[in-house]
Structure 1
């Protein structure tokens, strides 16, 4: 049969047979998994594809993942730490800070459930009917509030059993899920995606925090009984103060991360910024819903609690960030050009020999967008800074030291900003759910949403058990098993990976031994390994890790080729500046006539027409550079 080409796709859901460049009826399913499958061309079994897209886009509950976004952000924050070559003390301090932030987030979510259920609905709204109704309302409020963390625990445990208990034999090592996380464990570890027992312990820990929080709420209820409100905002302010202190400590610890390629820019203190974003989203949306409930149930403003003290700051932050995003986008528009492209001189009806001025302008726009997109992780840090600044200003304006210490921070009064918050903050959550739902039927929107979700759910739940379950716990071991099987059967394999698939391929190849890697050729295209993952996660996709894998691949009979375009908003050079022999820039639009490269008769994917369009992140398989790489690896015979 010869050397196989095993493809793995990127984000955007399940591509099916399109991943192989053929129609549905021209592909055959050769292996079926849980929401995954392996397919091959019916007429050329040398080309196979691993389809994992349904792991992230085929869940009917995916729109509700938005409600788990804060937990997911905190979990991702734990992976964005400094390189392992840096200070071990800084590494331990960063991880400790993220774990503390994760615990405080669980406590704050539980407090918001108690504020809404026990105080607003039970004690105040139902309690207006009489003392007996107040007691009944508080009891019902506790039951309603307890359902929130209970559901989170159930969802986390169910998804753990379905997706994270990886069966042994899929990968390259023993996967019993029993080992604890090693201090400097990275993708080269056989156990990286097999720490099920650690997740179980984390679930127990956060379940205990929930119980302790409800116990504290019960104490406050007993001491504040008879007052206009239960004063749970005082407890919330203490938790919020601790959240800010921990964020500040994490920011100082990881301000300037190491491990990136020389000259590569990236966000500073990303773990702290991600935690800040999680805290802002969770508290802002919950505060908005609390204010909405207060107004719908007719609670007078003088009974609003201190938990709403920052309600205006959330609105101000959203407005400032939206304005800042617009300015950021405008400033980066037009920074690139396409002056080097030759003008078209051939008449209409003949093959173009250059670009029209309209196409030149489109190429320049796409290049500018790509440059801006590669710096997008910095937006998280910008949002974090704006939120912390507006929160400090709001608190300073609400300080009144004329009374007891616990009442220095005053609750808000009814005003324009509070009315806007009633609509804007709950609306953000509902709009996000609607966008994710619409992405199931809109291809362009699906790619945007899937890009965000697939990055966030790549990482195991090491820091917060309520995060959205990772798809990699199943996809990476399965892909490792496919690679191992094909290499042993055929003596060699071409791993062809697009976009997020290149990240999965890197994770699958990283723990393999040299003897196996030297029988593999890796062909990546549109890869965010360095442009995104290297910026945000230098300990796992930084300079040392990428170069080590590249060295082992190049040392064998195969090698590594990475294709990228200047118009690609996601992919880019693997080795930083693109000067490595691994990185090959692909012209966009195509500028070489297809007649100069005869295709294999079995190849169903035609070459791109010259000087006709801008491909950006798509259609790399139609490039001459792609065909040349596959042909070279097949002819080498490994």
Structure 2
């Protein structure tokens, strides 16, 4: 080994997109970028800064030691990738598509299995569920635009005249109104199609989506390669949306006129929808990874254009059928023909798919032994994937309900039956035509138009309101019972860690540290609470559906206080939907808010598109290969060693990189992780990829070259291999080293207390520098000194 050389401390930030100037403690104008671009790149301080330090000997005043050629020299480099998740403002639009993101995330949460066939069925079911989410969005848009706005409000003169654009629509023939309403939905899928587009680079086929218990897919150097199957899946989603829209539009002239002219187009749309569904469920066609049928890519892409063209032709026929086929449309108020049937049918299919998914997941887990260490067991017993998909379904349903009710409430008053709407219209007409007084007629003129929404929308609104009440009660119980109880339990442990600092002046600070630990522990129970709320929501909705369909049920049988409860439920649902849209709009305008949204995106877009193709792009498809190539370029010089220092989500990127870093120079790379969610979040929630097969293997690939810093006050990061307390020199062998949550319970000389470590306090702790030094010992000759003057610590703003 050489007597001198360079140790590159390569810093990788976590969530929030920490800028390179914070990572390197240097103004941005004094940074060079040897690789990458503005979205993600590698940065170093300009050489003249360190040369000036070397000439001065100690950093400027000439009193320090002169440079020693026998020393190893440490320099710092930063990999800043935050621009991939918080960059263009258009990415804020993805906030309203959370259901798509959740069902895509569910794919990667499926547990490793002992039966390949069961896993194949599970991933196929998830893709079909994802397709149903796309159709749910289409039907939600149809309720708001085609039904509530165009079919109902435009059809009532006193509703349309209050909104100038609708007044223009009201002057057009009824069929043209329907066609224009459908055109809005067709433009929407084209927009989503373009947002979800990606360039497929022929670089290799990822491993199979069905993961067996003894496999580590992240070791495959093709894991992060884009797959043409995703492009085929996107074509299927666009085809299904367009065909479903065409069929829904054709139901209108078929209901009120001769069926024959519309039947041909209806059959074509049904055939296109069938092909899209079959192709989506066929693993060899649309499953990411494994053996794909690439020859189907071109036909499916062409079929997508055919479906859009047929949908446009269907809209055109609906617009002219009134004249060409003598179709006569009824007067308002009525609801759009075929729409409720489509909603009920899709809802029934989704229920069947979810039941099948849970059953297949249970089947796939049979015969797999339960891990003795509960800290490594998959979250929710391996059912995290189906539960997350279920949560996505509930969010999608709530958003759909909110959009439909929002349209109805903005333009008029939501009702659930045609009879109720006709009664309201007739009563208004009677008041205006009768001998009523001025006040009554003025009130009638100002009356809101009755707009019909599907009955399940009010079921969902009431269920959402009830679940929110339960969630608030559960949150208060956690805050008032769990946190104080856990704080008291942690307080004794905190005091024992600072034996020489007991006293009245440190009691308050000890309670603050104990409370920080208690709050950090909420991460371990949050998933169970959220899953319980999701199951409760499903049960409440199922109970309401049974009650509504019963002979003694229905909204007419509700007690007198029910209208107030319903209005409150509708308001809550509207607030949630409007809030989600507002977050998207504000994030589009405000870069700081966009960075906060990106914190969520950093976690959920780590994984490639698999189940749903209309999701935000995966940043790891770039960061992992880019970091791997940078390590190879640095260590290609025999005199260069690298300590990869990765925080939070950056540690996940680093682990994924080193799992497939098989260069001959891998023994020149050491790994320091801190605030790392590798075991706590990733191994337990993504067990097929970061579970008991992957992380222990990474530890074996990095013998004596991996240290993980963790603290009990960290709500995200945790230990990786075991939680035992040990010295820093032992951590090289056993990986984990626990930091005390504060360096002292006593105030500093400045009068303030040392900060609690939490999730972002690792960068400025002395243990960070000690860990870097300890890892350097494994990379450099024994006893070789290291000049660290060119390696300033990060600023306190690093995250």
For the criterion TM > 0.5, the same-fold answer is: yes
Please list, as runs of the form range in 1=range in 2, the aligned pairs for 1:461-472 lying within 5 A after superposition: 461-472=609-620
Q: Report the 3-state secondary structure (helix = DSSP H, G, I; strand = E; otherwise coil) of the residue aligned with 2:734.
A: coil
| Equivalent in the alignment of 1:282 | 396
| Equivalent in the alignment of 2:467 | 317
Is the contact between residue 8 and residue 49 of structure 1 (CA under 8 Å) also seen in structure 2? yes
Structure 2: how far apart are the matches of 1:440 and 1:488? Answer: 44
Please list, as runs of the form range in 1=range in 2, the aligned pairs for 1:185-200 lying within 5 A after superposition: 186-200=217-231
Structure 2: how far apart are the matches of 1:189 and 1:59? Answer: 31
Cα shift at 1:541:
0.8
Q: Structure 1 residues 372-381 or 61-70, which shifts more? A: 372-381
Cα shift at 1:89:
3.4
Is the contact between residue 113 and residue 148 of structure 1 (CA under 8 Å) also seen in structure 2? no
99 and 565 in structure 1: CA distance in 2 versus 1, 3 angstrom threshold? same
Q: Report the 3-state secondary structure (helix = DSSP H, G, I; strand = E; otherwise coil) of the residue aligned with 1:48.
A: strand
1:286-312 Cα deviation digits (max 9, x unpaired): 212212222333366233224524332
Please list, as runs of the form range in 1=range in 2, the aligned pairs for 1:243-322 lying within 5 A after superposition: 243-254=350-361, 262-264=373-375, 266-268=379-381, 269-298=383-412, 301=415, 302-303=417-418, 304=452, 305-308=454-457, 309-322=459-472
Residues 1:139 and 2:250 are matched in the alignment: no
Given candidates 675, 679, 682, the residue that maps to 1:530 is 679
1:321-345 Cα deviation digits (max 9, x unpaired): 3332332344430313223143776
Given candidates 191, 196, 199, the residue that maps to 1:151 is 191
Cα shift at 1:548:
0.8
Structure 2: how far apart are the matches of 1:206 and 1:411? Answer: 39
| Equivalent in the alignment of 1:339 | 495
Structure 2: how far apart are the matches of 1:525 and 1:622? Answer: 12
Q: Structure 1 residues 445-454 or 287-296, which shifts more? A: 445-454
1:91-129 Cα deviation digits (max 9, x unpaired): 223212211110111111111222222222222222345
Is the contact between residue 306 and residue 409 of structure 1 (CA under 8 Å) also seen in structure 2? no
5+ residue gaps, structure 1, are 167-174, 347-352, 403-407, 594-607
Given candidates 730, 740, 743, the residue that maps to 1:590 is 743
Residues 1:57 and 2:86 are matched in the alignment: yes
Cα shift at 1:33:
1.7
Residues 1:207 and 2:355 are matched in the alignment: no
Structure 2: how far apart are the matches of 1:60 and 1:575? Answer: 39
Is the contact between residue 711 and residue 741 of structure 2 (CA under 8 Å) also seen in structure 1? yes
212 and 400 in structure 1: CA distance in 2 versus 1, 3 angstrom threshold? farther
Cα shift at 1:14:
3.3
636 and 310 in structure 1: CA distance in 2 versus 1, 3 angstrom threshold? closer
| Equivalent in the alignment of 2:755 | 613
233 and 260 in structure 1: CA distance in 2 versus 1, 3 angstrom threshold? farther
Given candidates 772, 775, 778, the residue that maps to 1:630 is 772
Residues 1:237 and 2:237 are matched in the alignment: no
Cα shift at 1:180:
7.4
Cα shift at 1:145:
1.9
| Equivalent in the alignment of 1:91 | 119
Structure 1: how far apart are the matches of 2:507 and 2:400? Answer: 51
Q: Structure 1 residues 356-365 or 305-314, which shifts more? A: 305-314
Is the contact between residue 206 and residue 223 of structure 2 (CA under 8 Å) also seen in structure 1? no
Residues 1:483 and 2:590 are matched in the alignment: no
114 and 430 in structure 1: CA distance in 2 versus 1, 3 angstrom threshold? closer
469 and 260 in structure 1: CA distance in 2 versus 1, 3 angstrom threshold? farther
| Equivalent in the alignment of 2:111 | 82
Is the contact between residue 251 and residue 271 of structure 1 (CA under 8 Å) also seen in structure 2? no
Structure 2: how far apart are the matches of 1:486 and 1:354? Answer: 53
Structure 1: how far apart are the matches of 2:481 and 2:666? Answer: 44
Given candidates 189, 203, 210, the residue that maps to 1:176 is 203
Structure 1: how far apart are the matches of 2:591 and 2:613? Answer: 31
Is the contact between residue 218 and residue 660 of structure 2 (CA under 8 Å) also seen in structure 1? yes
Structure 1: how far apart are the matches of 2:95 and 2:408? Answer: 24
5+ residue gaps, structure 2, are 51-73, 158-169, 257-328, 419-451, 726-732, 781-799
1:536-577 Cα deviation digits (max 9, x unpaired): 1000110111011110111xxx61100000111111001254
Cα shift at 1:433:
4.8
Cα shift at 1:505:
0.6
Structure 1: how far apart are the matches of 2:670 and 2:677? Answer: 19
| Equivalent in the alignment of 2:510 | 360
236 and 127 in structure 1: CA distance in 2 versus 1, 3 angstrom threshold? same
Structure 2: how far apart are the matches of 1:508 and 1:279? Answer: 33
Is the contact between residue 669 and residue 779 of structure 2 (CA under 8 Å) also seen in structure 1? no
Structure 1: how far apart are the matches of 2:20 and 2:717? Answer: 22
428 and 300 in structure 1: CA distance in 2 versus 1, 3 angstrom threshold? closer
TM-score, with structure 2 as normaliser = 0.69
Cα shift at 1:187:
1.3
Higher helix share: 2
Is the contact between residue 374 and residue 570 of structure 1 (CA under 8 Å) also seen in structure 2? no
| Equivalent in the alignment of 1:15 | 19
Q: Structure 1 residues 460-469 or 481-490, which shifts more? A: 481-490
Q: Report the 3-state secondary structure (helix = DSSP H, G, I; strand = E; otherwise coil) of the residue aligned with 1:527.
A: coil
Q: Structure 1 residues 120-129 or 276-285, which shifts more? A: 120-129
Highest CA radius of gyration, 1 or 2? 2
Q: Report the 3-state secondary structure (helix = DSSP H, G, I; strand = E; otherwise coil) of the residue aligned with 2:671.
A: strand
Given candidates 478, 481, 501, the residue that maps to 2:650 is 501
1:3-41 Cα deviation digits (max 9, x unpaired): 211110000123221112344455433334251121123
106 and 52 in structure 1: CA distance in 2 versus 1, 3 angstrom threshold? same
142 and 179 in structure 1: CA distance in 2 versus 1, 3 angstrom threshold? same
Q: Structure 1 residues 131-140 or 527-536, which shifts more? A: 131-140
Q: Structure 1 residues 469-478 or 5-14, which shifts more? A: 469-478
| Equivalent in the alignment of 2:77 | 48
Structure 2: how far apart are the matches of 1:377 and 1:632? Answer: 36
TM-score, with structure 1 as normaliser = 0.85
Given candidates 67, 70, 76, the residue that maps to 2:99 is 70
1:512-532 Cα deviation digits (max 9, x unpaired): 226343332110000001111
Q: Report the 3-state secondary structure (helix = DSSP H, G, I; strand = E; otherwise coil) of the residue aligned with 1:568.
A: coil
Structure 1: how far apart are the matches of 2:591 and 2:171? Answer: 53
Q: Structure 1 residues 524-533 or 87-96, which shifts more? A: 87-96
281 and 616 in structure 1: CA distance in 2 versus 1, 3 angstrom threshold? same
Structure 2: how far apart are the matches of 1:200 and 1:139? Answer: 29
Structure 1: how far apart are the matches of 2:29 and 2:9? Answer: 20
Q: Report the 3-state secondary structure (helix = DSSP H, G, I; strand = E; otherwise coil) of the residue aligned with 1:493.
A: strand
Residues 1:4 and 2:40 are matched in the alignment: no
Is the contact between residue 262 and residue 576 of structure 1 (CA under 8 Å) also seen in structure 2? no
Residues 1:376 and 2:526 are matched in the alignment: yes
Is the contact between residue 273 and residue 381 of structure 1 (CA under 8 Å) also seen in structure 2? yes
Given candidates 237, 253, 256, the residue that maps to 1:222 is 253
Cα shift at 1:509:
1.4
